[in-house]
């Protein structure tokens, strides 16, 4: 079993790498322009170029993927010649600073041809100092400097370049400044170290937004899972015990009816009947940053929608598996030996009948995490599926990659759990 788990973990890592590369390449090949999606169709070519450079989107694809995976601070630190430090301010903002020779944290601004250093002291004070001694001359005889700016970039300034830079400020529009950098390296630690970067759509750290959305989806999927899976298994087993009976027909037809109705139709019908006509519960789920369990009444309709969708499918799979087991020779032999009916069912039939449903259930755990986007959109639920949909529409590669890695981890992890459960249902199964 230990060797099997190690192999599965290796498979998980390999799958995550392959999926991350595939998502990156598909996003690159997809139509659309990140800058125009975010800034609007009337952005000028100069503004677009400046925006892409500041986000590092003008870099080759392989380099951007490498930065996303293992971070860019190592390369930036090598260019600057100083170690870098990342911390979160008391107000929740992420800041990058260089660590000066004396241990103080420092960032720079370019004013004219002068380098102005913002020096952070241990007590939190920030003072300004002239720091022109850091200019160096490159092979072409140009005075250059690599440092950290106030926007969490490692930047390269050239003395006398007087480069114009356009910075887009949410709610304010474009701000034009002169004396801008000629090269940027957006600073991030990389996905492996828990920092997949900032969302191109919202400007917020992906890890923070993803955690909130993942938590919301876990709550919704977890409640639906706890309700629907035991109910579907029990109804499926009961239907399979008496194939062709009235009970079997009712459960089978009802399960098929719920499973074939599209998710959006089920959700809209429930909103119309339960929320609008009856006025029992809210028809939308607007939580913001608050945990969804602060308003449990808002969870009723999304959970009910997922329950009806999943109930029919799992019920029919379980019913078919139970029918097949009840026709097996060893079950007929048990009846011929005169064993009690419920002992045959509970001890012999049920355990084997659950083999197929367990596989389907584990696969549907992954669906409940990332595939409920239609339910989340219908009810306005701020979950992981809706987050990934919005990210895909805006080519937000950092958010897409991180979300894909979460789903891959869930998919492979649930299959590992299913394989372990098999060993308890069927002792003949062993993993070497």
How confident is the prediction along the chain (432 residues), in pLDDT tens digits per residue?
A: 677 777 778 877 888 888 888 888 887 777 767 777 766 667 778 778 888 888 888 888 889 889 988 999 999 999 999 999 998 877 767 889 999 988 899 999 888 888 999 999 888 889 999 999 999 988 888 889 999 998 889 999 988 776 777 665 555 555 666 667 888 999 999 988 888 888 877 777 888 888 888 888 888 888 888 888 888 888 888 888 878 888 888 888 887 887 788 888 888 888 988 888 888 888 777 665 566 777 788 888 888 888 888 888 888 888 888 888 888 888 888 888 888 888 888 877 887 787 777 777 777 776 776 667 888 888 888 888 888 888 888 888 888 888 888 888 887 777 777 777 767 666 655 555
Q: Judge whether 348 and 335 are in contact, CB under 8 Å.
A: no
What is the architecture of the domain spanning 207-425? Orthogonal Bundle (1.10)
Residue 27: CA count within 13 A, CB half-sphere: 25
Please state at what angle helix 384-393 crosses helix 397-425, rounded to 10 degrees: 140
Q: Is the dihedral of CA 212, 213, 219, 225 positive or negative?
A: negative
Phi then psi dihedrals of residue 389, to 5 deg: -60, -50
Position 426 scores a pLDDT of 63
Contacts of 182 (CB under 8 A, 6+ apart): 156, 157, 158, 161, 163
Position 430 scores a pLDDT of 59
Q: Would you list the DSSP string of 260-294?
A: HS-HHHHHHHHIIIIIIIS--S-S----TTS-GGG
Position 215 scores a pLDDT of 85
Helix (H, G, I), strand (E, B) or coil at 91: coil
Position 77 scores a pLDDT of 94
Looking only at the bridges linking them, the beta strands covering 84-88 and 94-99 are antiparallel
Nearest residue to 150 via CA among 105, 210, 211 = 105
Q: Is the dihedral of CA 64, 23, 220, 318 positive or negative?
A: negative
Instruction: Give ranges for CATH 1.10.3720.10 in the chain.
Output: 207-425
- Please give the span between the terminal C-alpha atoms of the chain, in angstroms, as a whole number: 6
Phi then psi dihedrals of residue 179, to 5 deg: 70, 30
Nearest residue to 295 via CA among 276, 278, 281, 280 = 281
């Amino acid at each position: 079993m230990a060797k099997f788990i190690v192999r599965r973990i290796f498979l998980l890592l390999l799958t995550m790498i392959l999926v991350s590369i595939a998502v990156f390449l598909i996003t690159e090949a997809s139509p659309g322009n990140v800058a125009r999606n975010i800034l609007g169709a009337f952005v000028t070519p100069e503004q677009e170029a400046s925006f892409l450079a500041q986000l590092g989107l003008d870099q080759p694809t392989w380099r951007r993927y490498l930065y996303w995976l293992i971070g860019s601070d190592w390369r930036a630190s090598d260019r600057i010649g100083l170690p870098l430090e990342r911390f979160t301010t008391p107000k929740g903002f992420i800041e990058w600073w260089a660590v000066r020779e004396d241990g103080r944290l420092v960032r720079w601004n370019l004013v004219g041809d002068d380098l102005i250093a913002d020096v952070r002291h241990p007590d939190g004070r920030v003072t300004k100092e002239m720091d022109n001694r850091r200019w160096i001359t490159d092979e072409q005889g140009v005075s250059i400097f690599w440092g950290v700016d106030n926007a969490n970039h490692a930047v390269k300034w050239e003395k006398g370049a007087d480069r114009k830079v356009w910075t887009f400020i949410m709610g304010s529009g474009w701000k034009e400044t002169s004396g801008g950098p000629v090269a940027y390296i957006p600073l991030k630690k990389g996905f492996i170290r828990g920092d997949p970067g900032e969302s191109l759509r919202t400007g917020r750290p992906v890890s923070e937004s993803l955690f909130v959305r993942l938590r919301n989806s876990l709550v919704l999927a977890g409640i639906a899972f706890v309700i629907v899976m035991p109910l579907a298994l029990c109804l499926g087993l009961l239907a399979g015990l008496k194939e062709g009976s009235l009970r079997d027909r009712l459960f089978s037809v009802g399960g098929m009816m719920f499973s074939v109705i599209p998710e959006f139709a089920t959700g809209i019908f429930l909103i119309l009947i339960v929320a609008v006509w009856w006025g029992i519960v809210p028809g939308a789920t607007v939580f913001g940053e608050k945990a969804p369990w602060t308003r449990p009444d808002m969870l009723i309709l999304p959970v009910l929608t997922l329950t009806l969708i999943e109930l029919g499918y799992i019920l029919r799979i379980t019913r078919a598996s139970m029918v097949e087991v009840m026709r097996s020779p060893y079950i007929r032999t048990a009846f011929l030996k005169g064993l009690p009916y419920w002992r045959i069912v509970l001890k012999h039939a049920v355990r084997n009948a659950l083999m197929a449903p367990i596989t389907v259930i584990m696969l549907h755990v992954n669906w409940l995490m990332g595939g409920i986007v239609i339910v989340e959109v219908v009810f306005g639920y701020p979950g992981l599926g809706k987050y990934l949909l919005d990210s895909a529409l805006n080519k937000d590669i950092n958010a897409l990659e991180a979300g894909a890695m979460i789903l891959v981890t869930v998919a492979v992890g649930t299959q590992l759990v299913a394989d372990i459960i098999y060993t308890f249902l069927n002792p003949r199964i062993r993993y070497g």
